């Protein structure tokens, strides 16, 4: 079949799932979700570029990376409806039942010519094409002025038609010469492919389909009109006639909503997010069904640890984690992209992993080689966008290498993976940077071959409420005043695991000495009982909420700290020490520890004493992982000489 012949009618496409080799999957191994390739555990590291070129593919293949993400688009518009960026690829979905896979075939051909061992996850952006929006305004977001703005995510018609298009894509892949190299489908939609709602006029959507879906949601949630009336404090409301609350932001202001008096808007926000989570689950199920279970599925979702605006739709992660068809989840690192700061994932990764899902971070790390979109693809770059601020990389190769090493240290210590996102192409095209990618791949293999014990397991559990934003009248500022503690946390000298509030049982489980409940204004009697039982076993608890903090240390009187929302690294170290938590480092450097890895990222540099836990005995073996040399250990202490603006990673072996 020639590339030019790949314009086919959807009805003529029938999936042959046995064509997919099924040699890439995710399964539990030694207590964590693990990527398997060719039947063997493999480092979960990949490469992606929107503007990939064979030269870049060859570079990363030579660095040992053979897993890729390839972009593909059902529609003919860019990923950001706010900036007006153009599409990175031609549209696949040309009309009712009509598809053109020419460019997808070309992308696979280019990739395999550069790396015959390649396997690729297709990142498929499923926003509706412009022709579909024009043909089906009844299934699109409807603004106050009568205009439409892409699909309505609550529309059954959008879901049905997109399902047909997704199945057509999978059928074509199965029938293509590249079927054996297809590893999975990353289902994507919404703003920046990340399942955000598109920016409308203050997130207005007047489509009656959305209201109908909300009423059906209320029917499922409330057993009777009386139950809804009691919850909303409105004797006149009925499930079949209820209206969504106004989430335009007209009510924005300082302070917090009362949870009991704000049930209508809370329900609106909850429905708003569950629509997105349910759509992801639906399309993952379609991929599994159409591929006979042979393709990986994943998505971006659940950015509650960084995004504070509930209108973005990212606050139903706990619901999505129950999806049996989802293999992995992703987010970029948090966008405080400074040297000397942690760049954590935007999600409670501890909960993701505990529910059997692989976590893959998108390392869209700018480097001294970073180019601007206007220089690489001026025809799609809107004026005034993508040319400053976060889009600029550091000036030096040394700084760039330190940032990539920090990405590597976090992934290895956290027991997860990610992809190197070479966004506009060439960002890593330098021997020093490729050496970091190569070394990370080698260390990933070493990690999989290492001991299976939970060496350097965190003793701190941090618990966040993904629905905290529903109560924030400022639409994000209040949440950030609390969740902003993610930055001092990383410098407090001890690692932590992050869980959803719905997984509190895991946070008070065996091995943790301190639990920080970060955000909820109130705790249920059941939650209070679990925390009390944890304290009864000698654990310490810290609860930070909109009014302040409450600290309870073993053998001490409770401390109430009105207005105490932000904590410094030094203050947290004192809490950890009093709680019996092992503190590795006394300096305010970023620290990662887990699975036998300890990473230290610093701006100032200098001599540091790294203290190892007693569990390693008196004479553990310690190796500098990036320099590949042994380090001296005395009394379980390793003296490190850290260069300024650097990342050091050590491997500790019993």
Across all residues in the chain, what is the average pLDDT? 95
pLDDT of residue 7: 53
Interhelix angle 208-221/263-290, rounded to 10 degrees, is 100
In the beta sheet, which residues pair with residue 31? none
Pairing state between β 540-545 and 93-95: unpaired
Q: What is the pLDDT of residues 261-290, one digit of tens each?
A: 999 999 999 999 999 999 999 999 999 999
pLDDT of residue 618: 76
- 379 C-beta neighbours (distance < 10 Å), count: 6
Dihedral over alpha carbons 199, 201, 202, 206 (to 10 degrees)? -100
| 464's tokens | 């966040």
Of 5-9, 238-242, 639-643, where does mean pLDDT reach its minimum? 5-9
User: What gap in Å lies between CA 36 and CA 33, rounded to an integer?
Assistant: 10
pLDDT of residue 165: 97
Q: What is the mean pLDDT of residues 130-149?
A: 96
pLDDT of residue 579: 97
User: What gap in Å lies between CA 90 and CA 95, rounded to an integer?
Assistant: 13
Question: Does pLDDT of 8 surpass 80?
Answer: no
Contacts of 453 (CB under 8 A, 6+ apart): none
Q: What is the pLDDT of residues 289-308, one digit of tens each?
A: 999 999 999 999 999 999 99
Please check whether residue 456 is in contact with residue 450, taking contact to mean a CB–CB distance below 8 angstroms.
Answer: no
Residue 319, SS3 per DSSP: helix
Question: Does pLDDT of 9 surpass 60?
Answer: no
pLDDT of residue 450: 76
- The values of phi and psi at residue 555, to 5°, are 70, 10
Residue in 61, 14, 37 with CA at minimum distance from that of residue 445? 37
pLDDT of residue 617: 76
Q: What is the pLDDT of residues 468-479, one digit of tens each?
A: 999 999 999 999
Question: Does pLDDT of 65 surpass 60?
Answer: yes
Q: What is the pLDDT confidence band of residue 430, given thresholds at 50, 70 and 90?
A: very high
Contacts of 175 (CB under 8 A, 6+ apart): 13, 16, 19
Q: How far is CA 618 from CA 405, 622, 636, in A?
A: 29, 12, 6
pLDDT of residue 40: 95
Question: Does pLDDT of 508 surpass 60?
Answer: yes
Compute the half-sphere exposure of residue 266: CA atoms within 13 Å on the CB side of its CA: 16
User: What gap in Å lies between CA 434 and CA 429, rounded to an integer?
Assistant: 7
Question: Does pLDDT of 485 surpass 80?
Answer: yes
Burial of 4 (0-12, 13-18, 19+ CB in 10 A): exposed
Compare 392 and 453 and report the one with higher pLDDT: 392
Dihedral over alpha carbons 206, 207, 208, 212 (to 10 degrees)? -100
User: What gap in Å lies between CA 349 and CA 355, rounded to an integer?
Assistant: 10
| 536's tokens | 């009864």
Q: What is the pLDDT of residues 184-217, one digit of tens each?
A: 999 999 999 999 999 877 788 999 999 999 999 9
Strands (DSSP E) contained in 437-538 are 460-464, 496-500, 514-518
| 562's tokens | 């009105």
Question: Does pLDDT of 129 surpass 80?
Answer: yes
Question: Does pLDDT of 1 surpass 70?
Answer: no
Interhelix angle 397-414/431-449, rounded to 10 degrees, is 10
pLDDT of residue 451: 63
pLDDT of residue 13: 55
Q: What is the mean pLDDT of residues 106-133?
A: 98
Q: What is the pLDDT confidence band of residue 453, given thresholds at 50, 70 and 90?
A: low
User: What gap in Å lies between CA 148 and CA 141, rounded to an integer?
Assistant: 5
Q: What is the radius of gyration, based on Cα positions, of the chain?
A: 25
pLDDT of residue 217: 98
pLDDT of residue 10: 47
Geometric angle at alpha carbon 127, from 211 and 300, rounded to 5° = 90
**What are the structural domains of the chain?**
460-578 (3.40.50), 590-653 (2.60.40.1180)
Interhelix angle 263-290/225-232, rounded to 10 degrees, is 120
pLDDT of residue 653: 86
Percentage of the chain with pLDDT > 70? 97
Percentage of the chain with pLDDT > 90? 92
- 95 C-beta neighbours (distance < 10 Å), count: 13
pLDDT of residue 5: 39
| 205's tokens | 């959507």
Please check whether residue 259 is in contact with residue 523, taking contact to mean a CB–CB distance below 8 angstroms.
Answer: no
User: What gap in Å lies between CA 179 and CA 16, rounded to an integer?
Assistant: 10
Contacts of 96 (CB under 8 A, 6+ apart): 135
Question: Does pLDDT of 506 surpass 60?
Answer: yes
Question: Does pLDDT of 11 surpass 50?
Answer: no
Pairing state between β 40-41 and 590-594: unpaired
| 360's tokens | 């893959």
Geometric angle at alpha carbon 91, from 88 and 94, rounded to 5° = 170
Q: What is the mean pLDDT of residues 600-609?
A: 97
pLDDT of residue 22: 79
Q: What is the pLDDT of residues 373-402, one digit of tens each?
A: 999 999 999 999 999 888 999 999 999 999
**What are the respective helix, strand and coil percentages of the chain, to the nearest 5?**
35, 25, 45
Question: Does pLDDT of 6 surpass 50?
Answer: no
């Amino acid at each position: 079949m020639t590339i030019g012949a790949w314009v086919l009618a959807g009805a003529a496409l029938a999936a042959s799932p046995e064509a997919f080799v099924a040699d890439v999957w995710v399964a539990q191994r030694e207590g964590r979700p693990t990527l398997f390739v060719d039947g063997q555990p493999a480092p979960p590291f990949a490469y992606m570029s929107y503007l990939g070129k064979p030269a870049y593919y060859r570079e990363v293949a030579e660095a040992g990376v053979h897993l890729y993400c390839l972009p593909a688009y059902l529609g003919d518009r860019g990923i950001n409806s706010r900036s007006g960026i153009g599409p990175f690829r031609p549209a696949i979905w040309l009309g009712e039942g009509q598809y053109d896979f020419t460019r997808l075939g070309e992308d696979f051909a280019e990739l395999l010519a550069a790396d015959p061992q390649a396997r690729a996850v297709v990142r498929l952006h499923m926003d509706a094409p412009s022709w579909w929006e024009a043909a089906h305004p009844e299934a699109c977001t409807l603004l106050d002025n009568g205009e439409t703005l892409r699909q309505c995510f609550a529309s059954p018609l959008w879901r049905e038609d997109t399902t047909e298009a997704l199945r057509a894509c999978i059928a074509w892949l199965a029938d293509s010469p590249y079927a054996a190299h297809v590893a999975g489908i990353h289902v994507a939609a919404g703003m920046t492919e990340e399942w955000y709602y598109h920016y409308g006029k203050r997130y207005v959507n007047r489509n009656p389909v959305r209201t109908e879906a909300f009423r059906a949601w209320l029917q499922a949630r409330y057993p009777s009109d009386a139950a809804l009336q009691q919850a909303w404090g409105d004797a006149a409301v009925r499930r079949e006639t209820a209206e969504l609350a106004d989430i335009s932001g007209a009510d924005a202001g300082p302070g917090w909503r009362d949870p009991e008096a704000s049930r209508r808007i809370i329900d609106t926000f909850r429905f708003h997010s569950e629509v997105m989570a349910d759509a992801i689950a639906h399309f993952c199920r379609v991929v599994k069904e159409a591929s006979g279970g042979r393709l990986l599925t994943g998505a971006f979702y659940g950015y509650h640890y960084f995004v504070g605006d509930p209108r973005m739709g990212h606050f139903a992660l706990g619901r999505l984690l129950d999806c049996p068809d989802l293999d992995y989840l992703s987010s970029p690192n948090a966008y405080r992209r400074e040297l000397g700061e942690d760049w954590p994932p935007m999600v409670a990764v501890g909960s993701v992993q505990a529910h059997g899902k692989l976590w893959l971070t998108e390392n869209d790390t700018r480097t001294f080689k970073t180019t601007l979109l206007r220089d690489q693809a001026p025809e799609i770059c809107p004026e005034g966008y993508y040319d400053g601020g976060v889009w600029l990389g550091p000036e030096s190769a040394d700084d760039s290498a330190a940032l990539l090493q920090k990405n590597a240290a976090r992934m290895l210590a956290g027991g997860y993976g990610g992809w190197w996102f070479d966004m506009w192409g060439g960002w890593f095209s330098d021997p020093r940077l490729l050496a970091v990618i190569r070394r990370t791949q080698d260390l990933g293999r070493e990690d999989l071959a290492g001991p299976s014990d939970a060496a350097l397991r965190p003793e701190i559990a941090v618990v966040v409420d993904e629905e905290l934003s529903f109560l924030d009248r400022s639409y994000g500022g209040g949440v950030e005043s609390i969740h902003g503690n993610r930055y001092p946390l990383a410098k407090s000298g001890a690692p932590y695991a992050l869980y959803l509030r719905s997984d509190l049982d895991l946070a008070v489980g065996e091995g943790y000495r301190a639990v920080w409940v970060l955000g909820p204004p109130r705790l249920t009697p059941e939650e209070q009982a679990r925390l009390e039982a944890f304290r009864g076993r000698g654990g310490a608890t810290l609860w930070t909420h909109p009014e302040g903090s409450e600290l309870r240390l073993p053998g001490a009187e409770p401390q109430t700290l009105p207005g105490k929302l932000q904590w410094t690294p030094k203050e947290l170290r004192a809490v950890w020490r009093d709680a019996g938590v092992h503190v590795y480092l006394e300096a305010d450097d970023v620290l990662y520890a887990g699975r036998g890895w300890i990473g230290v990222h610093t701006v100032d540099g200098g001599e540091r004493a790294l203290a190892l836990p007693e569990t390693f005995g008196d004479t553990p073996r310690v190796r500098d992982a990036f320099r590949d040399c042994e380090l001296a250990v005395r009394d379980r202490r390793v003296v490190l000489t850290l260069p300024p603006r650097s990342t050091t990673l050590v491997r500790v072996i019993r």
